[in-house]
Amino acid sequence: MPKTKQSATNRLNSFVLEYGTDIFKTDGMKVNSDRKFVVTQHVNTEKHKRAVIRKNEKNKNSEILTAKKYTSREIPSDSTLRKTYVNDIYEETMKNIREQIIGNKIWVSIDKTTDSEGRYVANVIIGTLNTDAPGKTYLLTTEVLEKANNSTIVKLFDHSMFVLWPNGIRHDDVLLFVTDAAPYMVKAGQTLQSLYSKMIHLICLAHGIHRRAENIREKLKKVDKLISRVKQVFFKALSRVLVFKSEASAIPLPPEPILTRWGTWIMAASYYCKYYKVIRRVLLRFIPEYITKLETVETQYISLSEALSAVKYVKNKLNDCEGEIGVAVFQKLNNELEKNCGFKTILNISKILSGQESSIDGIPDDLTGDDITYFKYAPITSTDVERSFSRYKTLLVDNRRSFNFENIKKSLVVLFRVVHNSETNARNHLANIMIRNELIPRKVNRVRTCI
């Protein structure tokens, strides 16, 4: 019988089977060469080998590659690290946090979110209160709540303090509790103040200012529509962007506000107020200072007086607004600040620290003069907890849904410690753990700069 000619699809599939799917893939289409020796020659060329190396490097973590370069050791896979070393690193991190907290007064912040698995996840952030400089911030624990109510928050708070002080909770060292304005958080704060007599419960001021920004957006519907439509005009439209740059080269492109990012809509509204005539001129071709202060409130490591000055600035600016909308927004902000008992107390403490007042009326009876000095760099927002949720979501991505929650918690605590306090001692902390577990040799010192 005559020999049957092999089809192009079968020939290509045979190459894939022989050389492996990491080198060749086929969709069954015809290729330029129909001879095997040509393929073999190409596989042995330096060009192909370099391409394979580049492909493998893209699939690996750049930090692990750097560590491997300086240690001349094989770095364990993520699975090995998770199963063998995560617990050791977590315990070492918790030990380090406890050592940093010893002898210091602290503030606590708790918030809750719903993750992609539908679980109520609560993060507990703590930070030190120093008299001479901003303190350090740590993620203490991440827990799953059965329900989101005041009872579960109180239990979580007490459990977190026991994790921090396993030999006995130091009630007098907790001076500040920062949360959002959710009713169950307010009720939990009132309950906890009976157990922690020196603690002040402050409702996050950044949340309050952001809600007033949302009120402005809801009332200015025509402005909101303008911002939305212009955003659509320039979205993924390179030709229109080029026209804008040629017609209005002196001004930046229109901002693209994202409602979940605080203050971006107000920034966009300010932009259109300033450049309305220019934007209108450019758009016709296609037809046939408030936000700064909100950013200041959210900024980390600033003094209490600076943060409160930003809140006062916002309040005064809204008070100067004329018209029905301006008056309504100012009244809502004023009412919210009046209901925030913790804000009044913090305001009094700031005046005492600056020498404007000497009276201690309205301050908890157990709070001494020495305790008041620790509020010099106290936070007035719970934005650190919001940032911790962003890191949580980077861990629980679509291809990690089977990630055990206990491992998520331990990994998140370590990650927050390294990223949030990214100084040399944080890198040394991880390097020392790897040395102790013989992941890297002791004589290598340069590795700490790449972990």
82-203: which CATH number, 3.40.50, 1.10.10, 3.30.420, 3.40.30? 3.30.420
User: Stretch 202-223: mean pLDDT, rounded?
Assistant: 81
Q: Which tokens sit at 124? A: 């507990």
SS3 category, 145: strand
CA pair distance 243, 327, nearest whole angstrom? 40
What does the pLDDT look like over 136-178, one tens digit per residue? 899 999 999 988 899 999 999 999 999 999 988 999 999 999 9
Does residue 85 surpass a pLDDT of 50?
yes
Which range scores top for mean pLDDT: 173-187, 355-369, 401-415?
Answer: 173-187
CA pair distance 194, 158, nearest whole angstrom? 13
Output the pLDDT for position 449: 30
User: Stretch 262-273: mean pLDDT, rounded?
Assistant: 81
Q: What is the mean pLDDT of the chain?
A: 77
Give the burial string for 295-319 (b: 16+ CB within 10 Å, else e): ebbbeeebbbeebbbbbebbbeebe
For the sheet containing 200-203, what is the strand order? 137-145, 120-129, 105-114, 174-179, 200-203
CA pair distance 30, 11, nearest whole angstrom? 10
Greater confidence (59 vs 376) lies with 376
- Residue 443: band (very low, low, confident or very high) from pLDDT cuts 50, 70, 90: very low
CA 131 to chain centre: 27
- Residue 434: band (very low, low, confident or very high) from pLDDT cuts 50, 70, 90: very low
Greater confidence (316 vs 29) lies with 316
Per domain, the residue ranges of the chain are 8-70, 82-203, 232-374, 384-438
Does residue 208 surpass a pLDDT of 50?
yes
